[in-house]
């Protein structure tokens, strides 16, 4: 039985990837960071808590990563753990550097010291393009990160490339554009909007406070994107791939889709609050996933409309339960 270790298994992508690998017959191990509250709600939502084996550890503790690899003896490691919220990265830049940046060095070293034949996936990001240098961003577009998060991810990306070139490791980097789902953290804008729509529709809230709604993002469905991660590690040679839909939409238009779905006009409820503006903004992102389509045979399956309505439905159900509890 093929074995995989996922760091960040309690996050959005970790949960979907664990589910995918279980469906493919893998034995799935996940790194579990110690927290004072329960972080297993996503694995619970997908009904897979009992099917995965969790090993305590932290991205900042190399010894725990070595231990996790020795226990799980994986053929594949997916490094999804990160301080992943861009806004927080200005308030906690050093923590972001330690976890999102140096954490990659820790996991790559843990692999190199135990079994360098392990295949490695690094969760890189479109945030590395930041202030975009080309209208459509591909694997050859120069990077220009605009947040401490983007800077930390850029370190992880280049370290992955470097370990591939230095030690001949099967290390791949997926440059994923924004991807969302009902399991998205509540602080990210799509989920904040779909949760807000549900609360307004059910009479729990009266308004939704947002920051820069003119920002544009290339949004896809997380369930589609984890398939690309797996595909990258099934290739004979490691490489870097942009994963995106090739369509960009403003936060404003995304709001419009969400509110209209429940018969409301976003203009009646959305309030602009400068508190949510960022010190430096990524105004627009638009990915070119041609390489992934041609080499991996991957393509996005879910439209933005399908994604947002799926998320609104899930939030309506959650808020209804909350109200009736």
Distance CA 166, CA 159 (A): 10
Q: Which of 3, 20, 22, 39 binds ligand NAP (CB under 6 A)?
A: 39
Q: Which of 52, 242, 251, 304 binds ligand F7E (CB under 6 A)?
A: 251
Q: Which of 60, 88, 235, 250 binds ligand NAP (CB under 6 A)?
A: 60
- Please confirm, yes or no, whether 134 is among the known catalytic residues: no
CA 224 to chain centre: 12
Q: Which of 5, 8, 213, 316 binds ligand NAP (CB under 6 A)?
A: 8
| Torsion region of 299: left, alpha or beta (phi above 0 gives left; psi -120 to 50 gives alpha) | beta
Q: Which of 96, 125, 141, 194 is catalytic?
A: 125
Write down the least CB distance from residue 1 to ligand F7E, Å: 32
Binding of ligand NAP by 89 (CB under 6 A): no
Closest CA to 157 of 144, 142, 145, 174: 174
- Please confirm, yes or no, whether 76 is among the known catalytic residues: no
Which of ligand F7E, ligand NAP, none lies near 249, with the C-beta cut-off 5 to 8 A by kind? none
Tokens 């975009």 — which residue?
Answer: 132
Closest CA to 31 of 2, 51, 4, 1: 4
Dihedral angle computed from the Cα positions of residues 293, 298, 303 and 309, in that order, rounded to the nearest 10 degrees: -160
One-character DSSP codes across 229-277: HHHHHHSSS--EEEE--S--EEHHHHHHHHHHHTT--GGGTEEE-GGG-
Write down the least CB distance from residue 65 to ligand NAP, Å: 9
Segment contacting ligand F7E by CB under 6 A, of 38-46, 79-87, 236-244, 260-268:
79-87
Q: Which of 29, 96, 121, 127 is catalytic?
A: 127
Nearer to ligand F7E, 64 or 248 (CB): 248
Q: Which residues bind ligand F7E (CB under 6 A)?
A: 84, 86-87, 125-127, 177-178, 187-189, 192, 210-213, 215, 217, 251, 276, 278, 281-282
Q: Which residues are catalytic?
A: 125, 127, 149
């Amino acid at each position: 039985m093929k074995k995989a270790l996922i760091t960040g298994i309690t996050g959005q992508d970790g949960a979907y990837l664990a589910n995918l690998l279980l469906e493919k017959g893998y034995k799935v191990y996940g790194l579990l960071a110690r927290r004072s509250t329960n972080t297993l709600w996503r694995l619970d939502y997908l009904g897979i808590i009992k099917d995965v084996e969790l090993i305590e550890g932290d991205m900042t503790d190399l010894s725990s990563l070595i231990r996790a690899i020795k226990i799980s003896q994986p053929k594949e490691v997916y490094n999804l753990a990160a301080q992943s919220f861009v806004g927080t990265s200005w308030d906690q830049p050093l923590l972001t550097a330690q976890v999102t940046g140096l954490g990659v060095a820790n996991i790559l070293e843990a692999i190199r010291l135990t079994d360098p034949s392990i295949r490695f996936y690094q969760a890189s990001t479109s945030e590395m393009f930041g202030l975009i240098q080309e209208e459509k961003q591909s694997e050859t577009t120069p990077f220009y990160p605009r947040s401490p998060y983007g800077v930390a991810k850029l370190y992880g990306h280049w370290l992955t490339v470097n370990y591939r070139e230095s030690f001949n490791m099967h290390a791949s980097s997926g440059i994923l554009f924004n991807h969302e789902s009902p399991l998205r953290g509540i602080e990210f804008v799509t989920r904040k909007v779909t949760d807000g729509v549900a609360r307004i529709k059910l009479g729990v809230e009266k308004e939704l406070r947002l920051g820069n709604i003119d920002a544009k993002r290339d949004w896809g469905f997380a369930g589609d994107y984890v398939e690309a991660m797996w595909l990258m590690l099934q290739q004979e040679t490691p490489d870097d791939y942009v994963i995106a839909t090739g369509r960009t939409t403003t936060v404003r238009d995304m709001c419009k889709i969400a509110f209209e779905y429940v018969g409301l006009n976003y203009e009646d409820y959305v309030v602009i609050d400068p508190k949510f503006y960022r010190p430096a903004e990524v105004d627009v992102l638009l990915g070119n996933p041609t390489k992934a389509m041609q080499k991996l045979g991957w393509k996005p399956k879910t439209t933005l409309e399908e994604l947002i309505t799926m998320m609104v439905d899930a939030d309506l159900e959650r808020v209804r339960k909350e109200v009736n509890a």
